[in-house]
Amino acid sequence: MDAAEICVIVLRTLQVGCVATAAILVPGIALGWLLARERFAGRMLLQTIVCLPMVLPPVAVGLLLLVTLSRGSALGGLIERVFGAPIVLTWWAAAIAAAVMSLPLVVLGAQQGFLAVPRRLEQVAATLGASPLRVFFCVSLPLAARSIAYGTLFAFARSLGEFGATTLVAGNIPGQTETLALAIYARIEQFEDQEALLLSAVSIVLALLITGAAELCLRRHRR
Amino acid sequence: MNAFDLHARYPGFVLAASATWHESCVALFGASGSGKSTIVEAIAGLRADVRGTVSLGGQRLDGLPSRRRGIGWVPQDAALFPHRSVLDNLRFAARPGDADLLARVVDALELSPLLARRPAQLSGGERQRVALGRALAARPRALLLDEPLAALDRPLRARLVPFLQRIRTTFDVPMLIVSHDPLEVMALARHVIVLEAGRVVAEGDPREVLAAHEALGSLRGLAAENVFDVSVVGEVHDGIVLVTTPHGVRLAVVHAKGFGLPRRVAITAEDIVLSTTAPSDISAQNVLAGVVQGTRASGAQVVVNVSVDGELFVVRVTAKAAQRLGLVKGRAAHLIVKAHAVLAVE
């Protein structure tokens, strides 16, 4: 296994993680705000559904995704008609699996962040004439930003290491859908322990770099 | 005309309060739990669970969302945005093109040295001033001040009261002040609405209403406060101005530059130190020689009436101190009052 091959795997892992995290950031914040600030029928059900990927076995989530995205399904068929190719067994499918598995972390981080924002500040902002959108963007969101940032960081880390759901919907196609987690598992299956250990070490370095950089950014922001 | 007629029912508490007033500065007065804050929040449009009507300046506000009511609400804890500097807090409220107003607010509340600071770097009094400024910067139709001085100790309160008076005169904004402190009410309001257990039990001129209410026994100790109409004698010197009461008692009062001269002063009975011998070499600027007119027990304290040149002062001392000093009618007494303890009222 040469450096170029490792690079391809690392870049694919980062690509899947970035796309998955970017895709869930806005809906995750919106869901977190909704669950923290609004009282509506079905709120408990929504909270449960949001948390399901954390509770269910990842392969079960993968199976549900496979059923939902396969060519025979309505959504899978629609995607194939629009993009001219099935989405299953592509790196996009890996990103979707990672997004679904990581979404609860962004939602819960945002929810806790918004719950920690004193209502009084939002009320004062409203009495000062601010629209609900301005209250959200100028008061609630900045004050919940730290929790959201940590939730997003964990979601990104989770998506980098996603395995169970990804392996079902994206398979393990070298150079195409092979992320670090999938590559390590494949090497172990093939009794290539040294390569598996090398990729594990790369994973550790990657995780340290990402969490270290994020922590530095958050500290700077705190000051 | 301004009015509210508000109703709400909570476990163990029923709000059924209505009042009408024409004055520009009104106080909602009552003990904790009497419903003052609920009414203020309902006026600001923040209590969906309170039914009824609210009119300010003749305009009906009920039914409008809080952002369209034009209410400058200043909560007790100031509620400044912690992630924004003082200037950004003010800018949040100001409309585009309101730079002149912003400058006037900064000037009137003396906020210039604070503009770059974050709320966490401000003292309690500074936070309240910034919150006032922020509310004013939004060009409100009325200011609702929810216990604006409650979080401050008495010297700080005395320093903030002139700012509130200045706001009233400089910006010509009607004010509704929530307070449980009769001194604040008398210093700031021209009309008081007294609340008890969610109902309005009295309203009118603060001095008359509060004194009458004390006679009913529900506001213990209020009559013990010393409030005098005064005339200024001499010029301001080193931040102190001399005033004289109708009976000619002279008092040194702290006077902040740029504020109006006092026309009335108030001193709490607890802020007066009583001595039976003439103190010498003392830092306090007001030492008044008088004669004890009588005493009466009030809980663990004794209320002492002291006549100074015909002006009656009410002092509170502990029962132990009264016994030690042998305070009986006819006994000579010297009242010691710091200039800072004399609350100057416009």
pLDDT in tens, B13-56: 899 999 999 888 899 998 878 889 899 999 999 998 999 999 99
User: B336 and chain A: CB distance < 8 Å anywhere?
Assistant: no
Of B181 and A145, the structure prediction assigns the larger pLDDT to A145
Instruction: Report how far residue A34's alpha carbon sits from residue A114's, in angstroms, rounded to the nearest whole number.
Output: 9
- B92 vs A contacts (CB less than 8 Å): 125, 128, 130, 138
User: A116 and chain B: CB distance < 8 Å anywhere?
Assistant: no
- B138 vs A contacts (CB less than 8 Å): 127-129
SS3 B145: strand
pLDDT band at B219 (very low <50, low <70, confident <90, very high): very low
Instruction: Report how far residue B121's alpha carbon sits from residue A176's, in angstroms, rounded to the nearest whole number.
Output: 54
Residues A96-111, mean pLDDT to the nearest whole number? 95
Could B92 and A130 be called an inter-chain contact, meaning their C-beta atoms sit closer than 8 Å? yes
Instruction: Report how far residue A211's alpha carbon sits from residue A214's, in angstroms, rounded to the nearest whole number.
Output: 5
Q: Distance (Å) from the C-alpha of residue A41 to the closest C-alpha of chain B?
A: 19
Instruction: Report how far residue B94's alpha carbon sits from residue A129's, in angstroms, rounded to the nearest whole number.
Output: 9
pLDDT of residue B158: 67
DSSP state of A1: -
pLDDT band at B99 (very low <50, low <70, confident <90, very high): confident
Q: Distance (Å) from the C-alpha of residue B87 to the closest C-alpha of chain A?
A: 14
CB B124 within 8 A of CB B152: yes
A 187-216 residues with CB < 8 A to B: none
pLDDT of residue A111: 96
What is chain B's mean pLDDT, rounded? 85
Instruction: Report how far residue B163's alpha carbon sits from residue A125's, in angstroms, rounded to the nearest whole number.
Output: 23
Q: Distance (Å) from the C-alpha of residue B137 to the closest C-alpha of chain A?
A: 9
Of B253 and B118, the structure prediction assigns the larger pLDDT to B118
Could B66 and A123 be called an inter-chain contact, meaning their C-beta atoms sit closer than 8 Å? yes
- Tell how strand B175-179 and strand B25-30 pair up: parallel
Choose the weakest-confidence range: A35-49, A139-153, B207-221. B207-221
Residues A134-159, mean pLDDT to the nearest whole number? 93
pLDDT of residue B57: 85
pLDDT of residue A15: 93
* B81 closest CB neighbour out of A121, A127, A129: A121
Q: Distance (Å) from the C-alpha of residue B73 to the closest C-alpha of chain A?
A: 7
- Tell how strand B264-267 and strand B343-345 pair up: antiparallel
**What letter represents residue B50's amino acid?**
V
- B75 vs A contacts (CB less than 8 Å): 120, 124
The string of pLDDT tens digits covering residues B148-165 is 877 666 666 666 777 787
- What's chain A's Rg over C-alpha atoms? 20
pLDDT of residue B82: 95
Instruction: Report how far residue A202's alpha carbon sits from residue A183's, in angstroms, rounded to the nearest whole number.
Output: 12
- A126 vs B contacts (CB less than 8 Å): 45-46, 65-67
Q: How many CA atoms lie within 13 A of B253 on its CB side?
A: 35
Say which residues have a Cβ less than 8 Å from residue A157's Cβ, sequence separation at least 6.
A207, A210, A211
Of B186 and A96, the structure prediction assigns the larger pLDDT to A96
Residue A14 confidence (pLDDT) above 70: yes
* B81 closest CB neighbour out of A129, A131, A139: A139
SS3 B204: strand
**b/e burial code for range B63-74 (CB count within 10 A of at least 16 → b):** eeebbebbbbbb
The string of pLDDT tens digits covering residues A18-49 is 999 999 999 999 999 999 998 889 999 999 99
Could B92 and A121 be called an inter-chain contact, meaning their C-beta atoms sit closer than 8 Å? no
Q: If we measure between CA atoms, which residue out of A53, A50, A159, A56 comes closest to residue A107?
A: A50
Percent of chain A with pLDDT over 70: 99
DSSP bridge partners of B318:
B301
- When scoring B49, B54, B74, B81 by the number of chain A Cβ atoms within 10 A, the one with the most, hence best to mutate, is B81
- When scoring A128, A136, A222 by the number of chain B Cβ atoms within 10 A, the one with the most, hence best to mutate, is A128
User: A130 and chain B: CB distance < 8 Å anywhere?
Assistant: yes
Size of interface A-B (CB pairs under 8 A): 54
Residue B334 confidence (pLDDT) above 90: yes
Instruction: Report how far residue B59's alpha carbon sits from residue B163's, in angstroms, rounded to the nearest whole number.
Output: 28
The string of pLDDT tens digits covering residues B234-259 is 887 887 889 999 999 999 988 766 56
Most confident of A20-34, B103-117, B164-178: A20-34
pLDDT band at B68 (very low <50, low <70, confident <90, very high): very high
Q: If we measure between CA atoms, which residue out of A175, A159, A50 comes closest to residue A104?
A: A50
Interface confidence (ipTM) of the complex: 0.81
Structure tokens at A42: 């079905």
- B72 vs A contacts (CB less than 8 Å): 127-128
Nearest CA in chain A to B134: A128
The string of pLDDT tens digits covering residues B250-309 is 999 887 665 667 887 878 788 899 999 999 889 888 999 999 998 888 778 888 999 999
* B67 closest CB neighbour out of A121, A126, A139: A126
DSSP for A79-147 reads HHHHHSS--TTSHHHHHHHHHHHHHHHHHHHHHHHHHTS-HHHHHHHHHTT--HHHHIIIIIHHHHHHH
B 204-263 residues with CB < 8 A to A: none
* A138 closest CB neighbour out of B82, B92, B135: B92
Q: If we measure between CA atoms, which residue out of B275, B297, B294 comes closest to residue B286?
A: B275
Residue B4 confidence (pLDDT) above 70: yes
Q: Is B203 left (phi over 0), alpha (psi -120 to 50) or beta?
A: beta
Alpha helix positions (H), B51-202: 86-93, 99-108, 124-137, 154-170, 182-188
Instruction: Report how far residue A106's alpha carbon sits from residue A108's, in angstroms, rounded to the nearest whole number.
Output: 6
Instruction: Report how far residue B154's alpha carbon sits from residue B306's, in angstroms, rounded to the nearest whole number.
Output: 23
Angle between helices A193-222 and A141-160 (to 10 degrees): 170
In sign, the C-alpha dihedral spanning B320, B324, B325, B326 is positive
Whole-model pTM: value is: 0.75
* A129 closest CB neighbour out of B67, B81, B83: B67
Residue A65 confidence (pLDDT) above 90: yes
